[in-house]
Amino acid sequence: MIKEVFKPASIEEAVKLKSESIFYLSGGTQINWAQAQADRKLNGKPAIEKVILVQDLLSKEIKKQGSDLFIGAGITLQELIDSSQTPGVLKKAAGYIASRNIRNMATLGGNIAANRPDSYILPCLIALNAEVIIADKEKISVESYDSRKNYLITQIILPRVDGVCVIDVALKSSGAYPSVTCAVRVSDKDVVVALGCVSDHVIRLKEIESGIMDGSLSGDTLAAAVANKIHPKSDLSGSAAYKKYISGSMIAHLVALSQKGAERKL
């Protein structure tokens, strides 16, 4: 339960207020997520009781600088969907959150900072080689972002990438937590495969990527390689065996889609 709230006048003041026991709060959909609080208790961590309000400090602007797209971390997922500048695949990822009420509150920066293993957004951003800018102006790739350090994210950068990014999720219903979330981008220069719900955070399958790149993995052999590589746990969203099977099948399918899309793009 949140018991104390700080409202700084600037980003600089917000950073000064930060400590290990105080967390940044913008839309609030992640901090107030019941499972997040339960996980903290399970891992022997204290409940989140002190927060720093940053909602009014973070930009919601989307702007193009050279070949890169800069997105303010305060933008809500619904605003991201509604913007004509947002890449279609990122709109699709945000749209997987079925509740418009949540999309109207949840921010892009907050979703990255939460680093949920079942995130719809993170696999897509990783496949797009996205970076974040934190309050001290440092750039960090979304893939290597460490949520334990609770940085204040101010902007997200989407660089120009080759190939076509495609995403998919496995859901039992629109209101259920996903069994698997994944994103793939294949080009003649690189391959990115990002997978959620199979570890304690979204992961990249770099060994699988190299096999796709050199042509040694495709179709059924690719699906089998993915299933052998991951070690998910059984939970209410599906058994470990199911997650292995569906992860392999989805990634093999997405790779084929991305390759066809890249060919059409040429």
Q: Are 62 and 108 in contact (CB under 8 A)?
A: no
Task: Give counts: helices (H), strands (E), the chain.
Answer: 10, 12
Q: Is 167 helix (H, G, I), strand (E, B) or coil?
A: strand
pLDDT the model gives residue 266: 37
Residues 6 or more apart from 226 whose CB is under 8 A from it? 193, 195, 205, 208, 244, 247, 248, 251, 252
CATH number, span 164-265: 3.30.390.50
Q: Report which of 78, 247, 232, 73 is spatially closest to residue 145, judged by C-alpha positions.
A: 73
CA 92 to chain centre: 13
Q: Which residues of the chain have pLDDT under 70?
A: 32-46, 148, 262-266
The pTM for the full model equals 0.92
Question: What pLDDT was estimated at residue 54?
Answer: 93
* 3 state SS for 190-215: CEEEEEECCCCCCEECHHHHHHHHCC
Q: What residues contact residue 67 under an 8 Å CB cut-off, 6+ apart?
A: 159, 160
Contact status, residue 11 vs residue 59, Cβ threshold 8 Å: no
Strand partners, 238: 235
Helix (H, G, I), strand (E, B) or coil at 132: strand
For CATH 3.30.465.10, the residue range(s) in the chain are 4-158
The strand ranges marked E within the chain are 4-6, 22-25, 50-53, 62-65, 68-72, 131-134, 139-141, 153-158, 164-170, 180-186, 191-196, 203-204
**CA-atom Rg of the chain in angstroms:** 19
**What CATH number does the domain located at 4-158 have?**
3.30.465.10
**Spatial contact of 206 and 227, defined as CB atoms under 8 Å apart:** no
Predicted pLDDT at 45:
66
d(CA 236, CA 255): 28
Every domain of the chain with CATH number 3.30.390.50 lies at 164-265
